[in-house]
Structure 1
Amino acid sequence: MIESKKEQLYQIIHAQPFISQQELAERLQLSRSAVAGHIASLIREKRLLGRAYVFPERRPVVCIGGANIDRKVRTVGALQMGTSNPVSQYESFGGVARNIAENLARLGSATSLICAVGDDASGAGLLAQGRVAGMDTSASLTLSGQGSGSYTAILDADGEMVLALAHMQLCEQLDVAFLASRQTQRAVALMTVADLNLPKSSIDYLQAEAIRCGHPLVLVAVSQPKMSRLPDDLQGVRLLILNRAELGTRVAQTLDTEDDIKHACRLVQAQGVQDVIVTLGEAGVMLTDGAEWHELHAPAVDVCDVTGAGDAFAAAVCWSLCHDDNDMISAAKRGLHLAALTLQSAATVCPDLAPDTLINLPK
């Protein structure tokens, strides 16, 4: 009878992962303590992975970092400096970690987003939209009396970025103490993806945790100024994704040629990171695969808007590494495919994504 109740409880949790212990007790006509005992037994058997009833086959990719309102302003004609320009305007939810999380959720991955928002309408809308898209946002931080972050991109008539303005100060609240308070939610991660909007001490903390626990950690650069947040020693980092300028900042060199980029990547690998991917815009990507080196061309597409393409690339790479046993070439090809879809969309995250979007692509 006891085993029967435990199995019934397991089936209910599998169907409703966020059901409360009180609801379980009422449905099964058990005491709260009996429910807690059954859950503890299931955790010992590793059929559940702890609080929030995470199942082994649905361990989430946990994305930590920037989340904000994206405002994209695009000139109607040629941009003229020093005067007023007629523009069109588009507003959506954005932020590097948030964009990666939404892409992953739309691709069918279990995904958690840990970010900081204000207690304004933008923050509430951002978290609500995340839940609708399939992200678990319950571990995020809402700050009283604060306005949510914003990212304003000025695009030319061809959709290329001319200037970007980022208001990301709330990310400073994602400090070590806060991350420690979310240990339960983070401990079940299949992979942790963090952007460099996080404070340096928080990046150090996640790195030390990755070394200690063996969980894959992917770091995604966001700008040249924030490259200073990257640890000097990169032991424990599975993958670093960044662009040519950010890589040049890391190694304090100008990277004019492909050989320069290759040499810089080897320098960064020598600092401890397992692999490096350098995004080169329409030229494609260059990447390491352990001791090997590869260059992949980007597919030619009609660009609608470049915003979010790099985040889509990173999301597809992470999706692939979680599904395809660390095959870097397949990961980068999937990244380029998803970036191309995003470039052709006016949205920051392509709305047409589905769980089969990256399945059965040509090798």
Structure 2
Amino acid sequence: MTELSKKEQLYALIRANPFIAQQEIAAELKLSRSAVAGYIASLVRERRLLGRAYVLPDNRPILCIGAANLDRKLRASGTLAMGTSNPASAIESFGGVARNIAENLARLGATVALITAVGTDSSGRALLDHAEELGIDTRGALKLDDAGSGTYTAVLDKDGQMVVALADMALYDRINPAFLGLRQQQRATSSLIVADLNLGIEAIQTLQQDAARDGVDLVIVAVSEPKMERLPASLQGVRLLILNEGELAARMKRVLHSEEELGAACAELQAQGAQDVIVTLGARGLLFTSPGGGIERLEAPPAEVVDVTGAGDAFSAAVCLSLQGGSELALACRRGLQLAALTVACVDTVCPQLAPESFGALIQA
């Protein structure tokens, strides 16, 4: 391999992903870090590179970090009977909390990037191709040769309510502090980061510390009661925590019998460092922390329920897009409830009818 071809290959890698780390370039081209630095310096002298990648302030993306799965939904045709076979219909689609939020955001017209982990299998390629077709920047994704892409299988009753779900998501543990370090520049130049708790506790801690250092708002979205153990004891650096009442009870390690107890638990989370908290209550609406230190309540709008899968992710997307635009949390929650109502009335995990004008049509006050 000639010196010229090595430099041109390096230049091609940087053009394809301006956020690529020198360590990744070195591994890809089988070069030392010092050799990579030398080639980069040469390209800067030639003015083919103008320095490190920067994103203009008016186009900084919302960065979603977490799961991107192949979702399978099995809906019972009649009343479910345990311990035996049940007639059902099956739907396969793309899912994962971070990916779902990213798709909602992209369909609503936001600039979005996604950091996730996929296998180098057909499912992984399809997941990334679909995201890129929507305009989601997936250049920061981790592609694994030794792991299959994540899967999520949900069993729904005949009314569309989830009965049980099974998730194969061990590969997201590979999004660890070392890997996140390779994506530090991409994270630092984001307008807002939203991470799901499919990430491990050390990865979450890294995101907290770096978000505080870089001045980037961090939103953490819970995914299940068992995974609440991945939420660190200290919530310093968390702009907003979104979770449901069961996940809040799991965090508190006690049953929360009333809305007063839910509100007191939110205050405890704020004492642990979270700036704000939203507790979703399903069809009953939600609770959220107010600037004065109290708790406010919003009712859910009427909705025709076809399938509840993805409603929480739609809610989180509308909240994040509102916060990025400078809206107060109360308005963000109202928009989130509206988008969740649209989503539960749709058979798809992310409503395909969403468009940039959809966000403008949500409640404005």
The TM-score, its normalising length taken from structure 1, stands at 0.86
Stretch moving more, 209-218 or 271-280: 209-218
One-letter amino acid matched to 1:77: G
Extract unaligned runs of 5+ from structure 2.
1-14, 19-42
Cα distance between partner residues in 1 of 2:17 and 2:290: 43
One-letter amino acid matched to 1:161: M
| Deviation string, structure 1 residues 83-114 (Cα, Å, up to 9, x no partner) | 11100000000000110111111111111100
Alignment match, 2:312: 310
One-letter amino acid matched to 1:250: R
Cα distance between partner residues in 2 of 1:32 and 1:113: 28
Alignment match, 1:123: 124
1:71 Cα deviation from its structure 2 partner: 0.2
Identity of aligned residues (%): 53
Answer whether contact 2:286 2:298 (CA < 8 A) is retained. yes
Alignment match, 2:68: 67
Cα distance between partner residues in 2 of 1:119 and 1:317: 33
| Deviation string, structure 1 residues 53-103 (Cα, Å, up to 9, x no partner) | 532211001110111100000001111111111000000000001101111
Cα distance between partner residues in 1 of 2:294 and 2:364: 21
| Deviation string, structure 1 residues 149-168 (Cα, Å, up to 9, x no partner) | 10000000000000000110
Cα distance between partner residues in 2 of 1:345 and 1:35: 51
Alignment match, 1:178: 179
Match of 1:35 among 47, 57, 63: 47
Alignment match, 2:35: none
One-letter amino acid matched to 2:226: P
Cα distance between partner residues in 1 of 2:76 and 2:216: 44
Extract unaligned runs of 5+ from structure 1.
1-16, 21-30, 41-49
Stretch moving more, 292-301 or 146-155: 292-301
1:313 Cα deviation from its structure 2 partner: 0.4
Cα distance between partner residues in 2 of 1:362 and 1:319: 13
Equivalent positions of 1:288-327 (< 5 A) are: 288-290=289-291, 291-323=293-325, 325-327=326-328
1:145 Cα deviation from its structure 2 partner: 3.1
One-letter amino acid matched to 2:273: G
One-letter amino acid matched to 2:263: K
Alignment match, 1:44: none
Cα distance between partner residues in 1 of 2:255 and 2:261: 8
SS at match of 1:345: coil
Aligned residues: 325
SS at match of 1:228: helix
SS at match of 2:94: strand
Cα distance between partner residues in 1 of 2:272 and 2:122: 43
Equivalent positions of 1:59-138 (< 5 A) are: 59-138=60-139
Cα distance between partner residues in 2 of 1:128 and 1:183: 24
Cα distance between partner residues in 1 of 2:44 and 2:172: 38
Equivalent positions of 1:326-341 (< 5 A) are: 326-341=327-342
1:142 Cα deviation from its structure 2 partner: 0.8
Runs of 4+ residues deviating >6 angstroms: 17-20
One-letter amino acid matched to 2:108: L
1:18 Cα deviation from its structure 2 partner: 6.4
Q: RMSD of the TM alignment (CA)?
A: 1.6
1:349 aligns with 2:350: yes
1:281 aligns with 2:282: yes
Stretch moving more, 145-154 or 284-293: 284-293
Equivalent positions of 1:184-263 (< 5 A) are: 184-263=185-264
Cα distance between partner residues in 2 of 1:184 and 1:265: 32
1:265 aligns with 2:271: no
Cα distance between partner residues in 1 of 2:263 and 2:147: 43
| Deviation string, structure 1 residues 266-318 (Cα, Å, up to 9, x no partner) | 11111110000001111111100231321111111111101000011001100
One-letter amino acid matched to 2:297: E
| Deviation string, structure 1 residues 132-191 (Cα, Å, up to 9, x no partner) | 111000100110032111000000000000000011001000000000011122221100
Alignment match, 1:45: none
One-letter amino acid matched to 1:311: D
Stretch moving more, 153-162 or 223-232: 223-232
1:326 Cα deviation from its structure 2 partner: 4.2
1:347 Cα deviation from its structure 2 partner: 0.6
Cα distance between partner residues in 2 of 1:123 and 1:320: 30
Answer whether contact 2:188 2:211 (CA < 8 A) is retained. no
1:256 Cα deviation from its structure 2 partner: 1.5
Cα distance between partner residues in 1 of 2:151 and 2:17: 34
Answer whether contact 2:73 2:91 (CA < 8 A) is retained. yes
Alignment match, 2:21: none
Stretch moving more, 179-188 or 330-339: 179-188
Cα distance between partner residues in 1 of 2:101 and 2:302: 23
Cα distance between partner residues in 2 of 1:296 and 1:70: 30
Cα 1:147/1:295, change in 2 over 3 Å: same
Cα distance between partner residues in 2 of 1:107 and 1:264: 33
Equivalent positions of 1:40-51 (< 5 A) are: 40=51, 50-51=52-53
SS at match of 2:357: coil
